[in-house]
Amino acid sequence: MNSFTSRLNSLFAFTLSVMAALTFGCFLSTVLNDHLRPVQLSVGKVSVKNVPDYSADRERSDLGFITFDLFTDLSPLYNWNVKMLFLYLTAEYKTKDHELNQVVLWDKIVKRGENTILDFRKTNTKYYFWDYGNGLKGNENVTLTLRWNVIPNAGTLPNVRGVGSEVIRFPDQYTAGRF
Amino acid sequence: MAAFGFLDDVMRMNKRQLYYQLLNFGMIVSSALMIWKGLMVVTGSESPIVVVLSGSMEPAFYRGDLLLLTNHKEEPIRVGEIVVFKIEGRDIPIVHRVLKVHEKEDGSVKFLTKGDNNAVDDRGLYARGQLWLEKKDVVGRAKGFLPYAGIVTILMNDYPKFKYAMLAFLGIFVLTHRE
């Protein structure tokens, strides 16, 4: 009963159960958080072009261009069970063919300890705003929201929609030329 | 003789104890199988627990982290969610984030994914000529996260000899040791 291996074994088992209990406690301590924060969004330049989408089916599709301003203070969201937030700016709209379209235009990873007050001005999107078809021209109800996916140290992975949104109104004329 | 010291326990057993030992081993294997199959029923996913095998979702998930999945039919697929999907011609499922969603009125959905740590979207990873994923490709959506818990799987994948050594050791241990 008192051999070296049996002591090692019980030490290992005890360590493992203490760590499991601590991890579970860490999960329980933050499971009820709603992770909500206000977000100020506004849109600057808006234009739309009709060009072949060589990244997909080479059909002529609507390609939107926007610049945006974003201000939000996410500091209160960070606690001991938040490893990082994955922020993503989503455009959501309806077209003739599709009841619901969601396109991520921009994203950012903010780890705990990094600057959590975000202030972006006249920022270009990170990804192309391709529609599946020709549903952007003249579309007056494209909702822009900032959402985040909370990545904990251990626990659930909630996707939260920031409080506040902005509506993009696309012009009913295509922009000619390169830009 | 000392090398076979672990067999002493077996030598001292009578037939009845030997059978009991074998049954005990069978119980461990079958209860593991029952838990796995039970989880499949509850979560609706064919593989309710997956280990992250690549670094394409860093810094959210590292190799060896464990993800808990659900895959209920009525749950819609939305951008920002982390999905696990299978591609035709690839054995290993991929864990990536949804970047674009186009959903029709009848509920059929086409979506595009991207790894947080990858510079481009996943079209290069999909099957030849495949532009979008559909619901049938999804194995599950990540709902829970546990760090490091799958590290043994990574070791077993990287060093197959370690896998056999470990399986042999565990098997012998369970069969030869008395309660």
Read off the tokens for B107: 């509920």
pLDDT > 80? residue B177: no
Query: Is B110 at the interface with chain A, CB within 8 A?
Result: yes
Banded pLDDT at A6 (limits 50, 70, 90): confident
As a whole-number percent, the residues of chain B with pLDDT over 70 amount to 93
Query: Is B116 at the interface with chain A, CB within 8 A?
Result: yes
Residues facing A124 on adjacent strands = A67
What pLDDT score was predicted for residue A59? 86
Domain range list for chain B: 2-43+165-176, 49-148
- pLDDT tens digits, A117-142: 999 999 999 999 999 999 999 999 99
Which residue of A88, A109, A153 is in closest CB contact with B79? A88
- State the nearest Cα–Cα gap between B30 and chain A, in angstroms: 23
pLDDT > 70? residue B2: no
CATH of domain A34-168: 2.60.40
Mean pLDDT across chain B, nearest whole number?
A: 90
Identify all chain A residues contacting B81, using CB atoms and an 8 Å cutoff.
149, 159
- State the nearest Cα–Cα gap between B141 and chain A, in angstroms: 10
What pLDDT score was predicted for residue A178? 64
Task: Specify the pairing of strand B138-146 against strand B82-85.
Answer: antiparallel
Query: Is B102 at the interface with chain A, CB within 8 A?
Result: yes
Banded pLDDT at B6 (limits 50, 70, 90): low
Chain A residues within 8 angstroms (CB to CB) of chain B: 23, 55-57, 83-84, 86, 88, 90, 97-104, 109, 111, 127, 130, 132, 147-149, 151-157, 159
Q: With a threshold of 0.90, does the pTM exceed it?
A: no
- State the nearest Cα–Cα gap between A107 and chain B, in angstroms: 9
Query: Is B20 at the interface with chain A, CB within 8 A?
Result: no
What pLDDT score was predicted for residue B120? 93
pLDDT > 80? residue B100: yes
The number of C-beta contacts closer than 8 angstroms across A and B is 80
Identify all chain A residues contacting B100, using CB atoms and an 8 Å cutoff.
101-104, 130
Q: Do A98 and B103 touch (CB under 8 A)?
A: yes
Banded pLDDT at B126 (limits 50, 70, 90): very high
Q: Do B97 and A86 touch (CB under 8 A)?
A: yes
CA distances for A26 relative to A32, A36, A96, angstroms:
12, 20, 47
* Mean pLDDT to the nearest integer, A43-67: 91
Catalytic positions of B, written as ranges: 56, 96, 122
Q: Using CA atoms, how far apart are residues A78 and B134, in angstroms rounded to an integer?
A: 34
What pLDDT score was predicted for residue A162? 95
pLDDT > 90? residue A58: no
Report CA dihedral (B45, B51, B57, B62) to the nearest 10 degrees: 150
As a whole-number percent, the residues of chain B with pLDDT over 90 amount to 67
What pLDDT score was predicted for residue B178? 64
Q: Using CA atoms, how far apart are residues A151 and B61, in angstroms rounded to an integer?
A: 9
pLDDT > 80? residue A25: yes
Grouping H, G, I as helix, E, B as strand and the rest as coil, residue B114 is: strand
pLDDT > 70? residue B1: no
A105's enclosing H/E stretch is: strand A100-111
Fold of B49-148: Umud Fragment, subunit A (2.10.109)
- pLDDT tens digits, B9-35: 677 778 888 888 889 889 999 999 999
Banded pLDDT at A26 (limits 50, 70, 90): very high
